[in-house]
């Protein structure tokens, strides 16, 4: 299983490195630069609002299905027909929920119009994730990997044409950005469906109330977990936009979005671990195989990488924001620099949240595979409670920066609790060499960062590169990244 994990992780990372960075820095970033922080903040608040209720599109079915198909491949054809019908019904439920709550919190006019399109896109995304859960459950990681980057590839093509062709005289609206997502998701749904049907045979949707109830009953613990995690992961921009008066909420939400973009990029890569590990952990636990080596291997890779990125980012937050964002029309230089400074401060906190999120993708996935959902739900509820309380206290005083503090606090708490619970339930050994290696990496990399800051003659991009290379070298020295172990695993039969 370790060999399968490493080989498919390498493929996933390679494909995502080809596509995701260009999407995030070339397209998504450029859209915000073109439309401005207020307009993008308007969109960012709505997209995150729609994510809060994404659970109603899924009710835990995707995670349940991934685990279930990995352990029982023969159920694919039977479950696909019934769950396919159920997903359509959930799409109607989701639409009712988001519009009802949107009206309750004061959405109107253009907000409701954009919410309708964003909601439809979320429905298609839920279908894509469900279809992919079948492919990964069958351990068809190569096919799943290709489909995982298809939607972004299509959006790059569509948005690239709209942004840079001058066909529309340089005009671009945030609505166009959403329409491009609609087209890309629709094509990806079709491709993913064809890939699944090749394995399952013909798909005939059917109404089976007893089957629906059985699936919902089994997936409900997953649903509660996803609901809680969605809230403490996505509620920050919504609270910023709602709690701050007038246009200030949209502007601050846009500033938060600037800082969040690199965290989102990191999360996309960290999520790849969960995609691979959930079916692998599920299969190994069912067959009573030890998961300890795979846990140690995956944790060592993702935590060392996230620590190196977070520490390096903390030294160059303002430079990175200046590199990524430009003044929009009518913005003074003073206002622009203030926006950059605020984004950099938020960014530094969020990137340390990335370390906690990375840990959650290992231990949270392990506990999900072990069906330890009661413990996970308690942890997720604790994280949500802390997040909301801190947001309510800090946003009126510190604006978006206060929300970043709330995010780091809640993510850090859940990471520690999930790790402790996983170690106790599955009786995992704590490797002192791993802990020492992580602490040594932190201390040495911070020292290198301060030394480089004192050398004024070195360009900041060179200093950043030196820190990344040095951090990687330190990780190899302390065997957080062990080449001999990787080669040995890949040579296994």
pLDDT, tens digit (0-9, with 9 covering 90-100), for 276-325? 777 778 777 878 888 888 888 888 888 898 999 999 998 998 998 888 88
Q: Tell me the C-alpha distance between 128 and 123, whole Å.
A: 9
How big is the CA angle at 481 (ends 480 and 483), to the nearest 5 degrees? 140
Q: What is the mean pLDDT of residues 3-8?
A: 60
Phi, psi of 332 (to 5 degrees): -75, 160
Task: Give the Cα separation of 151 and 148 in Å (integer).
Answer: 7
The whole-angstrom separation of Cα 371 and Cα 395 is 36
pLDDT for residue 265 is more than 70: yes
Tokens standing for 301? 């890779």
Distance CA 128, CA 182 (A): 13
DSSP annotation string for 254-294:
HHHHHHHHHHHHHHHHHHHHHHHHHHHHHHHHHTT---HHH
Can you read off the two tokens belonging to residue 306? 């996230």
> Rounded distance, CA 233 to CA 445, Å?
28
Q: How long is the chain?
A: 493
Report which of 407, 430, 423 is spatially closest to residue 357, judged by C-alpha positions.
Answer: 407
CB contact at 8 A, 471 and 441: yes
Task: Between 480 and 272, name the one with better pLDDT.
Answer: 480
- pLDDT tens digit string along 414-465? 999 999 998 888 888 877 788 888 899 999 999 999 998 888 778 888 999 9
Report the pLDDT value the prediction gives residue 205, as an integer from 0 to 100: 63
Number of helical H runs and strand E runs in the chain: 19, 0
Tokens of 334: 């003073």
Q: How many CB atoms lie within 10 A of CB 323?
A: 13
Is residue 255 within 8 Å of 342, Cβ to Cβ? yes
370, 425 contact by CB (below 8 A): yes
Question: End-to-end distance of the chain based on CA atoms, in angstroms?
Answer: 11
Question: Pick the residue with more confidence: 267 or 103?
Answer: 103
CB 27 within 8 A of CB 320: no
């Amino acid at each position: 299983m370790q060999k399968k994990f490493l080989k498919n992780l390498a493929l996933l990372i390679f494909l995502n490195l080809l596509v995701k960075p260009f999407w995030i820095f070339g397209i998504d970033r450029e859209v915000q630069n073109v439309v401005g922080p207020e307009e993008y903040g308007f969109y960012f608040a709505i997209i995150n609002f729609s994510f809060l209720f994404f659970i109603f599109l899924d009710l835990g079915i995707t995670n349940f299905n991934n685990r279930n198909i990995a352990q029982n491949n023969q159920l694919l054809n039977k479950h696909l027909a019934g769950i396919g019908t159920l997903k359509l019904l959930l799409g109607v439920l989701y639409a009712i929920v988001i519009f009802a709550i949107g009206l309750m919190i004061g959405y109107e006019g253009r907000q409701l119009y954009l919410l309708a399109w964003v909601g439809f896109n979320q429905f298609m995304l839920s279908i894509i994730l469900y279809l992919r859960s079948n492919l990964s459950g069958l351990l068809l990681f190569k096919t799943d990997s290709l489909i995982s980057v298809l939607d972004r590839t299509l959006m790059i093509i569509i948005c690239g044409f709209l942004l840079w062709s001058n066909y529309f005289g340089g005009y671009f609206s945030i609505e166009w950005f959403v329409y491009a997502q609609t087209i890309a998701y629709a094509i990806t749904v079709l491709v993913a469906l064809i890939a699944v049907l090749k394995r399952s045979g013909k798909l005939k949707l059917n109404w089976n109330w007893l089957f629906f109830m059985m699936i919902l009953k089994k997936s409900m613990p997953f649903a509660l977990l996803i609901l809680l995690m969605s809230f403490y992961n996505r509620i920050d921009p919504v609270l910023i936009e709602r709690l701050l008066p007038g246009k200030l909420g949209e502007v601050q939400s846009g500033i938060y979005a600037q800082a969040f973009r690199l965290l989102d990029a990191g999360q996309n890569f960290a999520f790849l671990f969960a995609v691979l590990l959930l079916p692998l952990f599920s299969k190994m636990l069912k067959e009573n195989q030890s998961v300890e080596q795979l846990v140690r291997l995956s944790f060592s890779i993702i935590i060392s990488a996230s620590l190196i990125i977070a520490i390096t980012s903390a030294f160059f937050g303002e430079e990175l924001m200046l590199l990524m964002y430009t003044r929009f029309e009518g913005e003074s230089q003073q206002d622009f620099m203030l926006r950059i400074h605020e984004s950099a401060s938020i960014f530094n906190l969020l990137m340390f949240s990335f370390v906690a999120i990375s840990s959650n993708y290992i231990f949270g996935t392990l506990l999900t595979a072990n069906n330890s959902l009661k413990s996970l739900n308690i942890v997720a509820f604790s994280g949500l409670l802390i997040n909301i309380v801190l947001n309510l206290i800090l946003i009126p005083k510190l604006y978006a920066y206060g929300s970043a503090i709330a995010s780091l606090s809640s993510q850090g708490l859940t990471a520690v609790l999930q790790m402790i619970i996983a170690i106790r339930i599955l009786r995992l050994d704590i490797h002192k060499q791993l802990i020492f290696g992580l602490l040594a990496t932190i201390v040495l990399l911070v020292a290198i960062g301060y030394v480089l800051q004192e050398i004024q003659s070195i360009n900041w991009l060179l200093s950043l590169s030196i820190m990344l290379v040095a951090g990687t070298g330190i990780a190899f020295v302390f065997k957080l990244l062990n080449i001999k172990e990787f080669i040995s695993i890949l040579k296994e039969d």
